[in-house]
Amino acid sequence: MSRPRILVPGKINPRVLERLPEMFETVRIERADAALVTADMADIAGIAVSGRLPIALMEAFPKLEIVANFGVGYDGVDVGRAAARGIVVTNTPEVLNEEVADTAIGLLINTVRQLPQAEEWLRQGRWARDGNFPLSPLSLRGRKIGLYGLGRIGLAIARRLEAFGLSIAYHTRTRREDIAFPYYPSLVSLAGAVDTLIVIVPATPSTAKAINAEVLSALGPNGVLINVGRGSTIDEAALVAALQTGTIAGAGLDVFENEPHVPEALLALPNVSLLPHVASASVVTRGAMADLVVDNLKAWFSNGRALTPIAETPFERKVQ
């Protein structure tokens, strides 16, 4: 009996490619482009993808059963169309929660204490030449934290913040009855009650540019914005203006609206800490994510159920 054929469009973590042959025949194309599909790929049954999966590429495979997405966010996949066709979509939750939470805290500390700038001061010889690095104008001490998003990663961040002795509040679409943190029904009301806003929500129509000029103004001149979610959540033009005018004090960003391109205006600001989307980027965590991609595929074709299907596609495999 022939092995199921799995398409890998473009780049993906090498461990995925190493493990796929355990059960599958791997078919690769240079990028996620339907123009690269050939007639001999008509029997493709699964796709393992990192990044965007254009709907035209998904539609090119009449026998497609599963899309295994490398990452927690799956906004690059047309979930509505997949659900309509009965295609299960999986992601990689849980395995990266702690790594992303660690990065969020590191980014927060870097932003308020200016540690990257202090290291650069030392490396440039300025400590010996010019004296001590200037005192950081901000501190983590006494800060009031607002979390925009309180899913698995948000809760992991909250646990760390509690250990720092900081107060925590949150905003989500609906109040969580299992959480004792103060809840605010809108982003503006949350921003007005805190001085540090940490963003950890997925890219959806409702979160697009949700962090706008009004929210930043409410956060105030002592305010710090941290984003480890998706770049589309922030109105970058409004953020640049807020940082330039002192509407808020600083920002730490791991994600951007048009990655890998970062606005020159952000790069030029002294009161920001910028990372190249590395929140989950350790060998250990990315390896665990890769394993879950492959294990989802193996479970689907072996047992008829994926390990971590997204809520929109809770399907079981039909007998082929």
Q: Which of 22, 120, 259, 316 is catalytic?
A: 259
Q: Tokens 């949350």 — which residue?
A: 190
Q: Catalytic: 277?
A: yes
Sorted by sequence, the CB contacts under 8 Å of residue 303 that are 6+ apart come out as: none
The values of phi and psi at residue 289, to 5°, are -65, -45
Cβ-based neighbour number of residue 57 at 10 Å: 22
Q: How far apart are CA 129 and CA 145, in angstroms?
A: 38
Q: Which residue in 160, 277, 305, 317 is the catalytic one? A: 277
Q: 8: how many CB neighbours lie within 10 A of its CB?
A: 22
Q: Phi and psi (nearest 5°) for 145?
A: -100, 135
Is there a catalytic annotation at residue 230?
yes
Distance CA 125, CA 233 (A): 39
Catalytic choice (19, 171, 230, 286): 230
Catalytic, 126? Answer no
Q: How far apart are CA 105 and CA 69, in angstroms?
A: 26
Instruction: Give the catalytic positions in this structure.
Output: 230, 259, 277
